[in-house]
Amino acid sequence: MTLDDLQFLLSSEGEQWLKDTARSRFGFVVTPITPHNHLQIAAQLRQQLPPTQAQAIMETVMLRQQAAVKFSRADQMFFTRPALEQASAETISHYRAQRFAAAGFRQVADLGCGIGGDALALAAHAHVTGIEWDAVRLAMAQENVRVYGHGAQFHPLQADLVELTPLPAEAVFFDPARRDEHGRRFHSVHQYQPPLNLVERWGAHTAVKVSPAIDYAEIPPGVEAEFISLTGDMKECVLWAGDLRSDANRRATLLPEGHSLTDADLPAQPTPVTAVGHYLYEPDSAVIRAHLVEALAQQLGANKIDEEIAYLTSDDPQETPFAKRYVVEAVRPFQLKQLRHYLHQNQIGQVTVKKRGSPLEPEKLQRQLRLTGPKENHRILFLTHIQGKPSVIIGWEDK
């Protein structure tokens, strides 16, 4: 998409085309564009509009549909596909912006602001200078911040971050690209574009969004690494420095509720490894990535089932937002024939297979079990190690 195409989308004519296309003005039932109808809609658009404008209409409508899971006002926003894929969900952006606000910063630089996914949240609390080399993304960011009612707080600047002299800003948010131009992920922070060390020239008070799979050896000293999950899915890690960081070195945060666990919660002594009790706990992915399973164990009064496995166990049920709890029905050394016999004997007709520390493929195992019981008789199989031995735990979620 070019700037001219974006300007067309922003015009009254373009807005009407977007509205009509989203509502399938071409004789379809009012429904989202799908693989079954998009080619016909695109063909009819090309009969009435220049090709680039027709493509811009189709792409914007389809990206708005996809963005609805991230942004509450997606139906009014503008995106490029790569920028949407990299953008944080609105819930996460607002959470981060509140940390900037709590630290008292009112002048923030958003380095590599993309389509404004973070700027729209930061601008609710501060004046934001959004810096982006791509002119189309920058124009989209300006419009997207306006959609959220904070247009006067956003100041766009087209510039190359590598060449730019630092602006007067109290704090910095930096979201470097973590994929190359072909969509391949960078596995090291040293490959990020622009490089991660760029923030060093911008001052001490920084927040940097990185991959949640970051190698701990690449986390700079003196920062707080916060691992964030959203409704149970691991999303990202943020490195907080200066007055933006807390006293913690590692933090697991669960959104949308905002529950947090930190390394200050770690026990003084290692968590004991014991036999599996009546209940099994599966920690949230953010807790695992933040290396805080033992902190959760202390909160629950629970034990580990293996030194290397992130499952916890107890005989008494404990409530926690940081883990799912399962009722344990049986614990067995893993042997396929014995497992199949147990499930057939108990007339189990359907299983969900989870694994941690096991090389087995869940889909292959499900085929090998050859279940014949009623489908409503369901169990969860945990393929794992218990005190170093390949095992299976059979149970169900305790909701």
**Which uninterrupted H or E stretch holds 83?**
helix 81-86
| pLDDT for residue 267 is more than 80 | yes
Whether residues 8 and 42 share a domain: the answer is yes
> Could you read off the pLDDT of 154-208 as tens digits, one per residue?
999 999 988 888 877 999 999 987 777 777 778 788 878 887 877 778 878 999 9
| pLDDT for residue 26 is more than 60 | no
Whether residues 227 and 305 share a domain: the answer is no
pLDDT reported for residue 31: 54
Q: Tell me what the mean pLDDT of segment 120-128 comes to.
A: 97
Per the domain annotation, does 270 fall within a domain? no
Per the domain annotation, does 76 fall within a domain? no
pLDDT tier for residue 27 given thresholds of 50, 70 and 90: very low
Per the domain annotation, does 267 fall within a domain? no
pLDDT tier for residue 6 given thresholds of 50, 70 and 90: very high
- Domain hosting 55: range is 3-66
Per the domain annotation, does 72 fall within a domain? no
pLDDT reported for residue 28: 43
Whether residues 122 and 207 share a domain: the answer is yes
Whether residues 120 and 251 share a domain: the answer is yes
Distance CA 45, CA 281 (A): 53
Q: Tell me what the mean pLDDT of segment 319-343 comes to.
A: 96
- State the average pLDDT for the chain: 92
Whether residues 254 and 292 share a domain: the answer is no
Whether residues 176 and 144 share a domain: the answer is yes
Helix axes 51-67, 12-22, angle to 10 degrees: 60
Q: Domain boundary residue among 235, 262, 289?
A: 262
Whether residues 99 and 233 share a domain: the answer is yes
Per the domain annotation, does 75 fall within a domain? no
| Structural domains in the chain (count) | 3
The beta-strand segments (E) located in 206-322 are 206-210, 224-230, 233-240, 250-255, 259-262, 279-283, 303-304, 312-314
Whether residues 44 and 135 share a domain: the answer is no
Per the domain annotation, does 268 fall within a domain? no
Q: Helix/strand/coil (H, E, C) string of 48-71?
A: HCCHHHHHHHHHHHHHHHHHCCCC
Whether residues 44 and 111 share a domain: the answer is no
- Residues comprising the chain, all counted: 399
Which pTM value belongs to this model? 0.91
pLDDT reported for residue 177: 78
Whether residues 34 and 94 share a domain: the answer is no
Q: Tell me what the mean pLDDT of segment 8-19 comes to.
A: 94
Query: Partners of 108 in the beta sheet?
Result: 128, 171
> What CATH number is associated with residue 258?
3.40.50.150
Per the domain annotation, does 128 fall within a domain? yes
User: Which amino acid is residue 277, in one-letter code?
Assistant: G
pLDDT reported for residue 233: 96
pLDDT reported for residue 34: 64
Per the domain annotation, does 273 fall within a domain? no
Whether residues 241 and 313 share a domain: the answer is no
Whether residues 233 and 306 share a domain: the answer is no
Q: Tell me what the mean pLDDT of segment 134-144 comes to.
A: 97
